Chain A
Amino acid sequence: AQSVTQLDSHVSVSEGTPVLLRCNYSSSYSPSLFWYVQHPNKGLQLLLKYTSAATLVKGINGFEAEFKKSETSFHLTKPSAHMSDAAEYFCVVSDGSNDYKLSFGAGTTVTVRA
Chain B
Amino acid sequence: NAGVTQTPKFQVLKTGQSMTLQCAQDMNHNSMYWYRQDPGMGLRLIYYSASEGTTDKGEVPNGYNVSRLNKREFSLRLESAAPSQTSVYFCASSVTGVLALFGSGTRLTVV
Contact = CB atoms under 8 A, between A and B. Distances in A.
B45 A102 contact: yes
Nearest to B44: A104
B42 A105 contact: yes
B97 A100 contact: yes
A46 B99 contact: yes
Interface residues of B, number: 26
Interface residues of A, number: 23
A94 B42 contact: no
Q: Please list the 9 inter-chain residue pairs (A to B) with the smallest Cβ-Cβ separation, ordered nearest first.
A: A99-B97, A43-B102, A104-B42, A104-B43, A44-B102, A100-B48, A43-B104, A106-B42, A106-B40
A90 interface: yes
Given A100-B33, A100-B48, A101-B58, A46 B100 contact: yes
B72 to A, nearest CB: 17
Contacts of A4: 42
Contacts of B96: 99
A94 to B, nearest CB: 7
Contact of A90 (B33, B43, B56, B98): B43
A44 B3 CA distance: 12
A12 interface: no
15 contacts: A43-B92, A43-B105, A44-B99, A46-B99, A46-B100, A49-B98, A92-B99, A94-B97, A99-B97, A99-B98, A100-B33, A100-B50, A101-B45, A106-B41, A106-B42
B4 interface: yes
B61 interface: no
B42 A90 contact: yes
A41 B104 CA distance: 7
Interface string A42-55: 11111001000000
Given A43-B102, A100-B50, A104-B42, 6 more contacts: A41-B104, A43-B4, A90-B42, A100-B31, A100-B48, A107-B40
